[in-house]
Amino acid sequence: MKYTQLGRTGLKVSRLVLGTMNFGPQTNESDSHTLMDAALDAGVNFFDTANVYGWGENKGRTEEILGTWFAQGGDRRDKVVLATKVYGNMGPDGEAWPNHDKLSAVNIRRAVDASLKRLQTDHIDLYQFHHVDRSTPIEEIWQAIDVLIQQGKILYAGSSNFAGYKIAQANEVARQRGSYGLVSEQCIYNLMERGAEMEVIPAAREYGLGVIPWSPLHGGLLGGAIRKEREGGGARSTSGRSGEALADPKVRAQVQAYEDLLDKHGLEPGEVGLAWLLTRPGVTGPISGPRTREQLDSALRAVELELSAEMLAALEEIFPGPGPSPENFAW
């Protein structure tokens, strides 16, 4: 496994992040534990979750599954850099009681204690804001975070789904307060969705945030979607967003060109999609959310895959980015 430092921190994390969003809803507790053991054995030390994972009436279930895994001992907790998130409505019916969601000081305090209990740990290494809170002053948010750091309940704060200017705003206010500020930004970023290159990633790099891409295979489109459709006997075999997206002729043409290129070189689409992200400036590591051991092994191989300059150029032709910032939106 390869490691890097998380943003401007001294924290060393694996270049593959184990995403746990499927633990509970799609992968049962026992299989989830097996996947976490395998990931840890392979050197993956960066695990990502969120308080809302489990969804619906089972919100919090994913954190509970991590907690029962940590409780098995064997230095599991000591070896893992644990990241979770706060913001979402934890009510099962979609309606939160006032002050039971978003980033008010009272909800942050309540949410971190609830997460610690579910995770069966005394601290969270990276506590991430799952979304921008347009109703809470950033000064209040930092006040709450600073208290949690002083109490030892969290070590670092990160953002998720923030605009570039919000990253700048949050860290400028942190600087004025003498707070450490955001150390990471988790955003959608992949070969097919490169909007983050315009302002989010430049802002993250300017302020020393590590970029943690989610949806690195764009909902499966970059994981061999057309090949799976063909092998499965038609479009119905490609489920969810992938199947709907492939109905767009432009998207299908792009994905087909991608798969044809990789077939020519004997490469696996999912592995190349992850490996490409590891070449991008500012990226700490993509989040891979495996449901099976086979998917985990594929993601692990991606970390060791070196893409040639010729391959990177060919990928750029198929999936052109927005260009350098600020020129990409200035003219």
DSSP codes of every residue in 125-181: EEEEESS--TTS-HHHHHHHHHHHHHHTSEEEEEEES--HHHHHHHHHHHHHHT---
Cα gap 29→3, rounded to integer Å: 28
Q: How confident is the prediction for the chain on average, in pLDDT?
A: 95
Check pLDDT > 90 for residue 152.
yes
What positions carry a catalytic annotation? 53
Query: Rounded to 5 degrees, what are φ and ψ at 263?
Result: -60, -40
Instruction: State the DSSP H helix or E strand holding residue 12, giving kind and residue range, or none if neither.
Output: strand 12-14
SS3 246: coil
Cα gap 225→219, rounded to integer Å: 10
Cα gap 160→138, rounded to integer Å: 15
Q: What is the pLDDT of residue 202?
A: 97
DSSP alpha helices (H): ranges in the chain?
29-41, 61-70, 76-79, 105-119, 138-151, 164-177, 200-206, 225-232, 240-245, 249-265, 269-277, 293-304, 309-318, 327-330
Q: What is the pTM (predicted TM-score) of this model? A: 0.95
Q: At what angle do helices 293-304 and 269-277 cross, to 10 degrees?
A: 50
**Could you give the domains of the chain?**
3-219+269-309 (3.20.20.100)
Tokens 């309606």: give the residue. Answer: 95
Distances (CA, A) of 116 to 84, 142, 168, 305: 10, 19, 29, 36
pLDDT band at 92 (very low <50, low <70, confident <90, very high): low
pLDDT band at 233 (very low <50, low <70, confident <90, very high): low
DSSP state of 235: G
Mean predicted confidence (pLDDT) in 58-71? 98
pLDDT band at 157 (very low <50, low <70, confident <90, very high): very high
Q: How many residues does the chain have?
A: 331
Q: What is the pLDDT of residue 72?
A: 98
Cβ atoms 99, 129 nearer than 8 A: no
Mean predicted confidence (pLDDT) in 140-148? 99
